[in-house]
């Protein structure tokens, strides 16, 4: 599955692309930190069955944040965000919303799935299809098929992680006798590795350019 390292690297690319003049170390920390926070719902899995990839991976989280930022910066007469941080704060806020959506939730949606509308609708979805052109069938996509993409509810779907290697079991974490192996992924394949390296280079280059 995509690791937190991968999510943060992809968020760095989003920051490099969207922050513009607001790009600095503090802004990158906000964008990448918010993206990494999404994976912390794995800790809730110790107490709430199926909370991992549900509690913080719901699209309601960035949607709610986007609504608040829009209301504060476009509707309110006196914006709290703009009055304190100016356009810098607004740009960082919008970049953070984008990073959480596309770098935090998006990759997990494409691999094993997330609970997109939790808690309003308890259903995991995984859009792990393909898109191609066929000379016989034309353009074919298998990403968006709600019947095929549905993967179960929080009670039926748990994910094995280094933090919780045996969710719902009576292993060592639950007072069992055996200690399960803990695997903390960094990169799972060459595609993820190139994204991580590209994210590191892009962010480093922008920071060095800013200091000149």
Q: List, for residues 179-211, the tens digit of each pLDDT value.
A: 777 777 778 788 889 999 999 999 999 998 877
Q: Which domain holds residue 185?
A: 4-211
Residue 155: C-alpha distances to residues 56, 115, 127 (Å): 16, 12, 20
| Each residue's pLDDT tens digit, 97-116 | 999 999 999 999 988 889 99
Q: What is the pLDDT of residue 134?
A: 87
Residue 163 banded pLDDT, cuts 50, 70, 90: low
Residue 170 banded pLDDT, cuts 50, 70, 90: very low
pLDDT at position 177 over 60: no
Task: Return the CA Rg of the chain.
Answer: 19
| Each residue's pLDDT tens digit, 24-80 | 999 999 999 999 999 999 888 788 888 888 999 999 999 999 999 999 999 999 999
Tokens 């280094």: give the residue.
Answer: 162
Q: What is the pLDDT of residue 150?
A: 58
Structure tokens at 111: 């691999």
Number of domains forming the structure of the chain: 1
């Amino acid at each position: 599955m995509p690791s937190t390292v991968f999510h943060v690297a992809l968020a760095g690319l989003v920051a490099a692309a969207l922050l513009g003049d607001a790009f600095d170390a503090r802004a990158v920390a906000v964008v990448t930190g918010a993206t990494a926070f999404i994976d912390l719902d794995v800790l809730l899995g110790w107490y709430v069955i199926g909370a991992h990839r549900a509690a913080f991976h719901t699209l309601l989280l960035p949607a709610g944040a986007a609504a608040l930022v829009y209301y504060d910066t476009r509707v309110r007469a006196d914006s709290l965000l703009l009055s304190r941080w100016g356009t810098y704060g607004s740009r960082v806020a919008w970049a953070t919303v984008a990073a959480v959506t596309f770098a935090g939730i998006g990759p997990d949606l494409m691999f094993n799935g997330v609970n997109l509308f939790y808690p309003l609708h308890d259903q995991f979805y995984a859009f792990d299809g393909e898109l191609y052109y066929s000379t016989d069938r034309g353009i074919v996509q298998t990403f968006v098929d709600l019947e095929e993409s549905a993967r179960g509810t929080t009670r039926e779907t748990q994910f094995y992680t280094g933090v919780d290697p045996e969710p719902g079991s009576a292993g060592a974490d639950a007072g069992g006798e055996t200690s399960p192996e803990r695997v903390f992924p960094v990169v799972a394949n060459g595609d993820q590795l190139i994204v991580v390296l590209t994210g590191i280079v892009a962010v480093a280059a922008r920071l060095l350019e800013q200091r000149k």
